[in-house]
Amino acid sequence: MRSTRRFATRSASALAGASLSVLLLAGAASAHVSVSADSPTQGGFAELTFRVPNETDNTSTTKVQVFFPASQPLAFVSIQAMPGWSYQVKTEKLDQPISSDDGQVTEAVSEVVWTADSATTAIKPGQYNDFNVSAGPLPDAPTMEFKALQTYSDGTVVRWIQSTAPGGAEPEHPAPVLSLLPATDTDSSATQTSDTTDAAASSTSSDSSDARANTALVLSIAALVVAVGVGALVLLRRSRT
């Protein structure tokens, strides 16, 4: 009986240990640099958030470099300032200028580098920072891949640059990938709806005008008939007199 209890206790302990190990491994695997946005749509603008967690136990993240895909240049990029961090924006001349409402764009952002101003503002173990960028128009593509480098206070550099094959397993150091939503016909639908509404309003107005004109005509004829009748009665009375 005792041996059975000991076996059950050991099995439960082993199972708990294995579960804890799986959870720790899952946490370590998911703790990588990532990019996200709220409903990023092809052809639109979005605020891109690069989340940078600290994966170490005793060093801080002091620098983050994000590389923008050269094959998907963005005409407009602006950086949100973060207290305690400085940033540098690098650009490259485009082989093919981008047309925009403000004219031709001949340069595009190729890299943004954020650097902690001091050890106090660096990303400590167990913490993370969000670095925000407003960008657009987003390309006509299903995804965008942003390679990134994460530098720690001891000089270690973690390269988040590995591409994830479609349907394949995630690599050890995956590059941040942003999924884009397909463009919609909301604007054109709104325009068509507006045009239809205007046409209906115009038609209604025209019908109302026609109705008023018909009513006026009927009243005029009725008045004329009454006037003729009254005149005839007056003449008849005079003739009798």
- For 141, residues 6+ apart whose C-beta sits below 8 A from its C-beta are 42, 72, 180
Residue of 52, 63, 79 lying closest to 133 (CA atoms): 79
- Measured CA to CA, the distance from residue 179 to residue 75 in angstroms comes to 19
pLDDT number for residue 4? 44
What per-residue confidence (pLDDT) applies to 41? 97
Q: In whole angstroms, how large is the CA radius of gyration of the chain?
A: 37
Q: Where do the structural domains in the chain lie, given as residue ranges?
A: 31-180, 213-241
- Among 213, 210, 140, 214, residue whose Cα is nearest residue 181: 140
Low-confidence stretches of the chain (pLDDT beneath 50)? 1-29, 187-191, 241
Average pLDDT taken over every residue of the chain? 79
Would you state the pLDDT for residue 225? 56
Q: Quote the strand ranges of 24-102, DSSP E.
A: 34-36, 46-53, 61-67, 76-79, 85-100
Q: Which residue has the tokens 């895909």?
A: 69
- Please report the pLDDT score of residue 112 as a whole number: 98
Q: What is the pLDDT of residue 241?
A: 46
C-alpha 108, offset from chain centre: 20
User: What is the tens place of the pLDDT at every residue in 30-39?
Assistant: 579 999 999 9
The three-class DSSP label of residue 195 is helix
Task: Give the global pTM.
Answer: 0.66
The CATH code that applies to domain 31-180 is 2.60.40.2230
Q: What are phi and psi of 60, to 5 degrees?
A: -110, 150
